[in-house]
Amino acid sequence: MVPVLLLTALLTPFILNILLTPLILKVSHKNNWYDSLDHRKVHEGEVPRLGGVGFFFSFVVCSLLAGFLAPKLFDLPAFSFSSELLFSFLGFTLVHILGLIDDFRSIRARYKLLGQIIAGVLIVLGGAVIPGFTLPFFNIDVQFGIFAGPLTVLWLISLSNAINLMDGIDGLAGGMSTITALIFAGVNLVLGNVTGAVLSAILAGSLAGFLVFNKPKAQIFMGDSGSLFLGFALGSLLFMNGSSGALDASATSETSQILLFGGLLATLSVLLLPVGDMISAILRRIRRGTPIYAPDREHIHHKYLNFGYSVPRILGVLYTVVLLDGLTVIFWALVHSRRIDAPLWVGDLVVLAAWLGTGAFLLWNHHRNNEYKRRTEDAG
């Protein structure tokens, strides 16, 4: 019954958002709610930016329906929509509303950060806490202890900013997030967390519905209301319910520990590209003495535009990197849950190879961009 449940969790929000987004487009055009144009933006014309409303609404509604109906319709008592989980959804709602307000009138950075901190605290209260991480190759769990809560909040805020920075060309942030959510559904399923798998599938379906309208040439953007919510959702999906008893009956205490302490490694591995791009941007701005939140046109997608790549070709390259990173995480989960008969270090080695490969990919693009700038300056 679990495959049927996951397919339902994927298709229902997809259909709902397909129906909802045209209504959002109609209201946005009627009220002139368009994304602002500046030197960083690569789109032309007037494009609404409330796509995040559609996939957020689809995710929340379908998650609530799943929580109430799935245990009865699919005979899955292990599927748990606990009161603790509602705190996480309050956090998602708060950060979504925060982004929505920022889409209409810019919020001062300090107030925006305060709102994100409060949303992060709510998610931590909901049980989605990063307790530590597993040291690869040594299989040692490093405990964060009293710092687990604050570090989780910092992680969620950082990831939401990473997603926001990748939202620079049609279909990029939404497509990468869809792939990531699908990978998380697979990892949760391998490790026996039915609730986490269903929620991940619902998020993937909601985003897929958005992508129908966000693919090149985009009819709608996700806006800050979407990117902030996505960062918080993706940052917590592998921890959600893993610490509150939602693992199904087939899950052992060992797989529960893998989910808790391996979740950070898995999340980082799938999101290496946006996280790496964010770190590169921070270091670049520190080196230049500019504020770390100052926008520029030197993110990885901008570099590919400089190289003459079309937007669909850029999406193909970056989607492939995220997908390959994600597949290594599923392999890692299969090895550590003993579903594949192989030494644990084999799974760790594959993930390490993905980290090194993605790092080399980012450095290679940085080098190519520097060469491009030098040639441009010489020609000028």
pLDDT at 380: 59
Task: Cis check for the bond before 217: say yes or no (omega within 30 of 0).
Answer: yes
What is the band of 293 on the pLDDT scale with cuts at 50, 70, 90?
Answer: confident
Q: Binding site annotation covers 369?
A: no
How far apart are the C-alpha atoms of 196 and 79, rounded to whole Å? 9
The pLDDT tens digits of the residues spanning 115-139 come to: 999 999 999 988 888 888 877 777 7
pLDDT at 164: 86
pLDDT at 244: 41
pLDDT at 248: 44
Lowest mean pLDDT among 24-28, 43-47, 204-208, 336-340: 43-47
For residue 134, the surrounding DSSP H or E stretch is strand 132-135
300 compared with 210, residue with greater pLDDT: 210
Instruction: Determine how many CB atoms are found less than 10 A away from the CB of residue 265.
Output: 21
pLDDT at 379: 67
Tell me the C-alpha to C-alpha distance, in Å, between residue 321 and each of 238, 315, 317, 324.
20, 10, 7, 5
pLDDT at 146: 92
What are the helix (H) ranges across 105-222? 109-125, 148-166, 172-190, 194-214
| Torsion sign over Cα 108, 110, 114, 116 | positive
DSSP per-residue letters across 316-364: HHHHHHHHHHHHHHHHHHHHHTTSS-S-HHHHHHHHHHHHHHHHHHHHH
* Backbone angles phi and psi of 34, in degrees to 5: -115, 160
For residue 140, the surrounding DSSP H or E stretch is strand 140-143
31: Cβ contacts below 8 Å, ≥ 6 apart: none
The three state secondary structure string of 61-120 is HHHHHHHHHHHHHCCCCCCCCCHHHHHHHHHHHHHHHHHHHHHHCCCCHHHHHHHHHHHH
pLDDT at 254: 61
Pairing assessment for the beta strands 140-143 and 132-135 based on DSSP bridges:
antiparallel
The pLDDT tens digits of the residues spanning 239-270 come to: 775 444 343 444 455 666 676 667 778 888 88
Q: Is the pLDDT of residue 95 over 90?
A: yes
pLDDT at 204: 98
Q: Is the pLDDT of residue 373 over 80?
A: no
Q: Binding site annotation covers 224?
A: yes
Cross-strand partners of 133 = 142
The pLDDT tens digits of the residues spanning 164-206 come to: 888 888 999 999 999 999 999 999 888 888 888 899 999 999 9
Counting residues of the chain whose pLDDT is more than 70, the rounded percentage is 87
Average confidence score pLDDT of the chain: 85
pLDDT at 212: 96
How far apart are the C-alpha atoms of 68 and 128, rounded to whole Å? 20
pLDDT at 17: 98
pLDDT at 80: 58
The pLDDT tens digits of the residues spanning 42-88 come to: 556 789 999 999 999 999 999 988 877 766 666 655 555 666 678 88
pLDDT at 246: 40
Mean pLDDT of 282-289: 84
The pLDDT tens digits of the residues spanning 196-232 come to: 889 999 999 999 999 999 999 899 999 999 999 999 9
pLDDT at 40: 54
